[in-house]
Amino acid sequence: MFIGMALRKLRNEREMNQTELGEEIQVSATTVSRWESDVMRPNIESLMKLSAFFGVSLEELASGEVAK
């Protein structure tokens, strides 16, 4: 699984839209969309915020292999 698919899966499990996730980790909805489309990858700071927010390890998130 790619990181974009993992992010979309985690976001949908929380019943959030891209704008809400962006606000939560302080990026734009466009940025979240680009991550989910695998057009762009999150930087390390964003990965750390995403990891903490979703309660998954950095390794799981970076690899796109989330178990939830």
- Over residues 8-49, the pLDDT tens digits come to 999 999 999 999 999 999 999 999 999 999 999 999 999 999
Question: What is the helix (H) or strand (E) element at residue 18, kind and residue range?
Answer: helix 18-25
Q: What total of structural domains would you count in the chain?
A: 1
What is the radius of gyration, based on Cα positions, of the chain? 10
- Write out pLDDT tens, residues 1-18: 589 999 999 999 999 999
pTM: 0.88
Find all residues with CB under 8 Å of 3, minimum gap 6, and list them.
Answer: 35, 38, 41, 42, 61, 62, 63, 64
29-36 and 3-13 are packed helices; what angle lies between their axes, rounded to 10 degrees? Answer: 120
In a domain, 67, yes or no: no
Residue 8 counted as domain residue: yes
Whether residue 66 is contained in a domain is answered as no
Please report whether residue 68 resides in a domain.
Answer: no
Residue 8 belongs to what domain range?
Answer: 3-61
18 falls within a domain? yes
CATH code of the domain covering residue 42? 1.10.260.40
